Amino acid sequence: MARKNSGTARKLIFLIVVCAAGVALWMGGCDKIASKFRSKTKTQPAKKEKVARRAPPSTSVPGPKLAIILDDLGNDKEAAEAVFALHYPLTISVLPYHAHSTEIAEEAQRRGLEVMLHLPMRAIANETPEGHQLEAGMSSEALARELTGMLESVPTADGVNNHEGSLATADAKLMGELMPLLKQRDLFFVDSRTTAATVAFEEAERAGVRSGFRNVPFLDDVQDVAAIRKELELAMRGAKEKGAAIAIGHPHAETLRALKEELPRAQAEGVRLVLVSELVK
Ligand SMILES: [Zn+2]
């Protein structure tokens, strides 16, 4: 009888312990939710602060990877909407100070796309200069001021690539001054390689900036769907041969159509489309 009683008591104690643990866990969970809510309400009213957002690391996933950057967004909201509607993990690079730069950058981040600042830099021909661009010979103060302003215009940027820049990216002094500023802000850099003489990637590496460069041809130098599909095939082949490829195109209707037609094939061929932040080292 006594033995039976002590058995029941033990069961009762066990039950109480389990219940207590359950309640503690539940409260812990509530606490986490509450703290999440607290941190949300705390950061929400802040002005357009850069939200630290990193693509999930996938280095453990084997197989070739392809990142596609679409440059020159900022002016055309419809073009941005058309990119969003593709529903692929694409990276968009936004020119600063255009009519919809900030809006597009913020919406793209909400939609899970990666955003870069498409940093205007002086081209040799300089035929279509942006209102603000980096110039060889500019003072370090002017450089820092320009970069700050541009990043305010594209507040959700995780990284930077150059727009034009055949003159500026070949200037070791300018690139050598730019890269530590990117490092300070924890931004990665992709060299668009608009000239064979570029030293931007080397300078980025020297400054310890996570960096990469376009290592397959531009997708849409010829704005024709068949031609762009061919370039996409080359990019996929490049990804297979090199293990990873960074391609750059633009949100032209022809480019978006070619992407729509070709990207399902990439998956079928085992090439994984990734955000460019996964490929910078
Ligand atoms: Zn560009």
Write the DSSP string, 70-135.
EEEESS-HHHHHHHHTT-S--EEEE-TTSTTHHHHHHHHHHTT-EEEEEEEE--SS-SS--SS-B-
pLDDT of residue 267: 86
Q: How far is the CA of 162 from the centre of ligand 1 (A)?
A: 7
Check pLDDT > 70 for residue 14: no
Q: Which carries the bigger pLDDT value, residue 181 or residue 25?
A: 181
More confident residue, 264 or 23: 264
6 Cα: distance to centroid of ligand 1 (angstroms): 79
> 11: CA distance to ligand 1 center in Å?
71
What SS3 class is residue 273?
A: strand
| Res 35 pLDDT > 50 | no
If you measure from the C-alpha of residue 69 to the centroid of ligand 1, how many angstroms do you get, rounded to a whole number?
Answer: 10
pLDDT by residue (tens digit) across 112-166? 999 999 999 999 999 999 999 999 999 999 999 999 999 999 999 999 999 999 9
Question: Residues with beta carbon < 5 A to ion ligand 1?
Answer: 71-72, 163
What distance in angstroms lies between residue 185's CA and the mean position of ligand 1's atoms?
22
194 C-alpha to center of ligand 1: Å? 9
Question: How many Å lie between the centroid of ligand 1 and the Cα of residue 118?
Answer: 7
